């Protein structure tokens, strides 16, 4: 399986020479026949959005949500590169469009990697025609594309969901800098479902909110993050709710792979908040706990220090009454009515020693629910991020 | 010099047996004659505020801002301890008040340490009468008090400021969990200035905003943080602005000592934002950069990766235009108009290798200014915080 599994799509990936390592660094996902199909995308909310984000937003608006292909480069983010960066991003689209026989505005572009360095356009200009020529509907081509979008990831991330009457495939890049407020990574999804751009955008928004936006590695929102969904229509009309469920499942699968591959982290934890005044408040409270450096450090040390969890909930900016709070680790209650309760310490220690920890917090105030996935903070994160060289 | 240097104050500190280590764990600051004097305090904004915070707030409100003494215990936060915790905190005030010959409401109480464990009231009940009996105006007693409030701090933190016509002294506890939204540590200040509780509260608010609230270690807001200012009036009436300047200088001195002693961190960095739409937006932007895990990791690695600074500014929720951004490290411009500029790399590397880094960001949009002090994120922070045992 690969991004090309849903009928109507081709892909390619190759090493153009952007990465000094010689690893694959260009990727393409496109329609089989070069014709634009309904598409939706969500982009980073960062106001320092990179050039490819700016160009892709313009292209999607210009076509009213119709896309023939997406070209991706990795190793350099083309961010903080000014007018030259925008020209470079537009040039990548133009080159890919020529090869596909599409209009320039029908191609989107993404880049990921270091910020502040102009793209090396020599290898990219030479590489894109080769990339387009190499496109194919086979799984090998899909795998190359999934490799071509990676940076610090330990391996490719792919997903396939067979929905009722439609298929959804996806590939993603992201192993750090995963945070709230939008995608915070790159993800590309294809489906054979038939749906117009308007409802398709709604489908993608629901899926992103329930997956990538419920993931916390370090609370940083990157300059380049983008999620694109292309719908070939080959499987015919599709119920939007059924498609939304399938796309959500695909995005959650990719998000779980990202959390598992978070830079230098071995332990994930799920913060489940119930009893909040609203789902929104529950999500915000869960996010505050999952983003907390102190809670992340506790997870690294497998330390059942629920006082930190309580402290973060108290400063999350949501309705909170300490005397109503209950906290459980892996189903074992450690705090009720805001105070410690006797519990099976061995059970909690055993749960915390695992690779996936569950922290359940009941605020006792309403029926709002929310879940956010976090990852531990240990030496590995620092090793990965202290220098870029 | 010590907290007792301004005329009219006494102090004491001793080891009551709260800390297993045998270190000092009770402290007192009080008026010489046991009479209540004008006082002001700021408390944590955390809704999971600890019992002593709840009790001190009530006492300060009940007296209209008049305090005869503050009793402090360290090693246990008396947080997440429910009604019993509130009784214990009130009991500490009652015991100290009896010894001082003051009303219970004229005594404030602070605790710092682990959350979720009831206070060991046996040693505290035995210790407070001894503590009150040991009170003295000498520097040795002041030094004992400054030791008695510490937890993970590497040493006591004291400050003395000779203002025009008044003296301000202070002592503080804090070496981690330092963050926005209020004090996020304990600090106690005394002055011989004469000022009523109302204006005194304004003085303290200005000083806290310009010092402790401009400090970021890990963005976590603790359950116990409190700053108290007592004014004996022995030096006579004082201009509020002059006193505010002196109290601000004292608080900034204590905040700098805390940053220098931040758990496991050796390198500080100052984020100075100019050109924002307002001072508030400048402060928010500077805070976002100083709180960023990725920027903190870069500081640990002495890595001049200004792209992360730009990315944080872009997601700070303030007005921002990438094409107007300028960034400099230690006075060396590395980014202008949102793109990299040629610069003296050796100068930047030398600056980043030091123990105090300056990151200047000009947003190019207005005249708003703000400064926030941050600390690096390295192995030391994780070692200090991964377990509580």
Of B77, B310, B388, the CB nearest to A115: B310
Residue B176 has pLDDT above 70, yes or no: no
Which residues of A fall within a CB distance of 8 Å from B379?
Answer: 379, 382
Q: Which two tokens stand for residue A104?
A: 């320039």
Q: Which two tokens stand for residue B62?
A: 């009940």
Report the pLDDT value the prediction gives residue A38, as an integer from 0 to 100.
97
- How far apart CA B27 and CA B186 sit, in angstroms, is 12
Which residues of A fall within a CB distance of 8 Å from B305?
Answer: 114-116, 387-388
Nearest CA in chain A to B182: A315
* In contact, A365 and A276? CB cutoff 8 Å: yes
Residue B47 has pLDDT above 70, yes or no: yes
Q: What residue ranges in chain B does DSSP mark as E strands?
A: 9-14, 26-31, 37-43, 66-67, 69-76, 107-114, 157-163, 166-173, 186-191, 215-216, 226-231, 268-276, 326-329, 332-336, 339-340, 356-362, 368-375
Residues in chain B: 389
Q: Do A80 and B387 touch (CB under 8 A)?
A: no
Mean pLDDT of B94-118: 95
What percent of chain A stands above pLDDT 70? Answer: 95
| Kind of pairing between the strands at A368-375 and A326-329 | unpaired
Report the pLDDT value the prediction gives residue B69, as an integer from 0 to 100.
98
- How far apart CA B362 and CA B334 sit, in angstroms, is 12
Chain mean pLDDT for chain B: 91
Å between A58 CA and nearest CA of chain B: 17
Report the pLDDT value the prediction gives residue A177, as an integer from 0 to 100.
43
- How far apart CA A102 and CA A62 sit, in angstroms, is 14
Strand order across the A339-340 sheet: A215-216, A368-375, A268-276, A356-362, A326-329, A332-336, A339-340
Q: Do B315 and A181 touch (CB under 8 A)?
A: yes
Q: Considering just the CA atoms, what is the radius of gyration of chain A in Å?
A: 22
Q: Which two tokens stand for residue B222?
A: 């603790």
Mean pLDDT of A78-100: 96
Å between B332 CA and nearest CA of chain A: 16
- Does residue B274 sit in helix, strand or coil? strand
Nearest CA in chain A to B181: A315
Q: Which two tokens stand for residue B134?
A: 């040991």
Q: Do B305 and A115 touch (CB under 8 A)?
A: yes
Which residues of B fall within a CB distance of 8 Å from A389?
Answer: 303
For B225-239, write each residue's pLDDT tens digit: 899 999 999 999 988
CA dist A76 → A54, A112, A218 (Å): 16, 6, 21
Mean pLDDT of A71-89: 95
Q: Which of A307, A349, A380, A388 to mutate to test the interface with B (most CBs of B within 10 A)?
A: A307
Residue A262 has pLDDT above 80, yes or no: no
Å between A252 CA and nearest CA of chain B: 24
User: Using 50, 70 and 90 to split pLDDT, how confident is the model at A216?
Assistant: low
Of B45, B79, B322, the CB nearest to A48: B322
Residue B189 has pLDDT above 50, yes or no: yes
Distance, first Cα to last Cα, chain A: 35
Of B298, B307, B377, the CB nearest to A116: B307
For A286-318, write each residue's pLDDT tens digit: 999 998 888 998 999 999 989 889 989 998 999
What percent of chain B stands above pLDDT 90? Answer: 75
* In contact, A246 and A254? CB cutoff 8 Å: no
Å between A128 CA and nearest CA of chain B: 25
Residue A375 has pLDDT above 90, yes or no: no
Go through the domains of chain A in sequence order and give each one's CATH number.
9-260 (3.60.70.12), 268-385 (3.10.20.340)
Residue B177 has pLDDT above 50, yes or no: no
Report the pLDDT value the prediction gives residue A293, as an integer from 0 to 100.
86
Report the pLDDT value the prediction gives residue A179, as an integer from 0 to 100.
38
Mean pLDDT of B200-221: 82
* In contact, A137 and A10? CB cutoff 8 Å: yes
Q: Do B300 and A77 touch (CB under 8 A)?
A: no
Q: Do B322 and A47 touch (CB under 8 A)?
A: yes
Residue A219 has pLDDT above 90, yes or no: no
Which residues of A fall within a CB distance of 8 Å from B386?
Answer: 297-298, 300-301, 303, 378
Q: Which of A52, A116, A324, A342 to mutate to test the interface with B (most CBs of B within 10 A)?
A: A116
Q: What is the pTM of this model?
A: 0.81
Nearest CA in chain B to A177: B294
The catalytic position among A184, A190, A223, A248 is: A184
Report the pLDDT value the prediction gives residue A217, as an integer from 0 to 100.
61
Å between B297 CA and nearest CA of chain A: 4
Q: Which of A204-218, A232-246, A267-281, B296-310 has the lowest mean pLDDT?
A: A204-218
Q: Which of A213, A311, A324, A345 to mutate to test the interface with B (most CBs of B within 10 A)?
A: A311
Q: What angle do CA B126, B28, B261 make, to 5 degrees?
A: 115
For B133-174, write each residue's pLDDT tens digit: 999 999 999 999 999 999 888 889 999 999 988 999 999 998
Report the pLDDT value the prediction gives residue B4, as an integer from 0 to 100.
97
Mean pLDDT of B207-222: 76
- How far apart CA B47 and CA B38 sit, in angstroms, is 27
Q: Do B80 and A322 touch (CB under 8 A)?
A: yes
* A368 membership: H or E segment, kind and range: strand A368-375
Of A48, A314, A382, the CB nearest to B310: A48
Q: Which residues pair with B86 in a beta bridge?
A: none
Report the pLDDT value the prediction gives residue B372, as an integer from 0 to 100.
87
Which residues of B fall within a CB distance of 8 Å from A267?
Answer: none
Residue A184 has pLDDT above 60, yes or no: no
Report the pLDDT value the prediction gives residue B65, as an integer from 0 to 100.
96
**Interface A:B, Cβ pairs < 8 A:** 206
Å between A234 CA and nearest CA of chain B: 39
For A331-341, write each residue's pLDDT tens digit: 999 999 999 99
Q: Which of A75, A85, A265, A293 to mutate to test the interface with B (most CBs of B within 10 A)?
A: A293
Of A218, A321, A377, the CB nearest to B294: A218
**Could you count the other beta carbons within 10 Å of the beta carbon of residue B133?**
10
Which residues of B fall within a CB distance of 8 Å from A266?
Answer: none
Burial A235-268 (b: 16+ CB within 10 A, else e): beebebeebbbbbbbbbbbbbbbbbbbbbbbebb
Q: Do A115 and B377 touch (CB under 8 A)?
A: no
- Does residue B279 sit in helix, strand or coil? helix
Nearest CA in chain B to A298: B386
Q: Do A323 and B82 touch (CB under 8 A)?
A: yes
The catalytic position among B31, B42, B112, B184 is: B184
User: Using 50, 70 and 90 to split pLDDT, how confident is the model at B179?
Assistant: very low
Which residues of A fall within a CB distance of 8 Å from B302?
Answer: 387
- How far apart CA A246 and CA B311 sit, in angstroms, is 32
- Does residue B13 sit in helix, strand or coil? strand
Q: Look at the block and give the residue holding tokens 């939007």.
A: A240
User: Using 50, 70 and 90 to split pLDDT, how confident is the model at B220?
Assistant: low
Residue B73 has pLDDT above 70, yes or no: yes
Q: Do B339 and A82 touch (CB under 8 A)?
A: yes
Mean pLDDT of A34-52: 93
DSSP-H helix ranges across A157-239: 197-209
User: Using 50, 70 and 90 to split pLDDT, how confident is the model at A154?
Assistant: confident
Q: Which residues pair with B237 in a beta bridge?
A: B194
- How far apart CA A191 and CA B148 sit, in angstroms, is 65
User: Using 50, 70 and 90 to split pLDDT, how confident is the model at B219?
Assistant: low
Q: What angle do CA A32, A35, A41 make, to 5 degrees?
A: 95
Which residues of A fall within a CB distance of 8 Å from B322?
Answer: 47-49, 80
Which residues of B fall within a CB distance of 8 Å from A325?
Answer: 48
User: Using 50, 70 and 90 to split pLDDT, how confident is the model at B68?
Assistant: very high
Clarify whether B125 is annotated catalytic: no
Report the pLDDT value the prediction gives residue A181, as an integer from 0 to 100.
33
| Kind of pairing between the strands at B226-231 and B26-31 | unpaired
Which residues of A fall within a CB distance of 8 Å from B335?
Answer: 80, 116
């Amino acid at each position: 399986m690969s991004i090309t599994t849903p009928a109507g799509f081709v892909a390619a990936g190759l090493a153009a020479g952007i990465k000094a390592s010689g690893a694959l660094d260009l990727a393409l996902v496109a329609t089989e026949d070069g014709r634009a199909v309904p598409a939706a995308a969500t982009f980073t909310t960062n106001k320092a959005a990179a050039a490819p984000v700016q160009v892709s937003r313009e292209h999607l608006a210009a076509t009213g949500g119709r896309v023939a292909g997406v070209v991706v480069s990795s190793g350099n983010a083309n961010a903080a590169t000014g007018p030259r960066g925008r020209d470079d991003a537009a040039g990548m689209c133009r080159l890919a469009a020529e090869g596909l026989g599409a209009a320039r505005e029908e191609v989107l572009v993404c880049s990921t990697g270091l910020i502040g360095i102009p793209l090396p356009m020599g290898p990219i200009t030479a590489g894109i025609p080769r990339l387009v020529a190499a496109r194919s509907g086979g799984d090998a081509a899909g795998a190359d594309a999934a490799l071509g979008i990676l940076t610090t990831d330990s391996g490719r991330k792919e997903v396939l969901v067979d929905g009722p009457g439609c298929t959804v495939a996806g590939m993603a890049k992201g192993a750090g800098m995963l945070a709230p407020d939008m995608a915070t990574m790159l993800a590309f999804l294809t489906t054979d479902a038939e749906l117009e751009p308007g409802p398709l955008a709604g489908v993608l928004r629901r899926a992103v909110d329930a997956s990538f936006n419920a993931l916390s590695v370090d609370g940083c929102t990157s300059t380049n993050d983008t999620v694109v969904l292309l719908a070939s229509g080959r499987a015919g009309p599709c119920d939007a709710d059924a498609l939304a469920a399938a796309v959500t499942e695909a995005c959650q699968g990719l998000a779980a792979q990202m959390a598992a591959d978070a830079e230098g982290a071995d332990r994930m934890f799920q913060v489940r908040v119930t009893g909040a005044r609203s789902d929104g408040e529950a999500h915000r409270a869960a996010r505050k706990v999952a983003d907390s450096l102190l809670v992340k450090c506790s997870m690294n040390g497998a330390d059942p220090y629920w006082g930190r969890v309580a402290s973060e909930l108290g400063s999350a900016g949501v309705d909170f009454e300490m005397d109503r709070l209950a906290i459980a680790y892996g189903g074992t209650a450690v705090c009720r009515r805001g105070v410690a309760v006797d519990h099976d310490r061995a059970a909690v220690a055993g749960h915390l020693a695992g690779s996936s920890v569950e922290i359940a917090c009941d605020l006792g105030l309403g029926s709002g629910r929310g879940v956010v996935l976090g990852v531990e903070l240990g030496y590995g994160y620092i090793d990965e991020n202290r220098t870029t060289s």
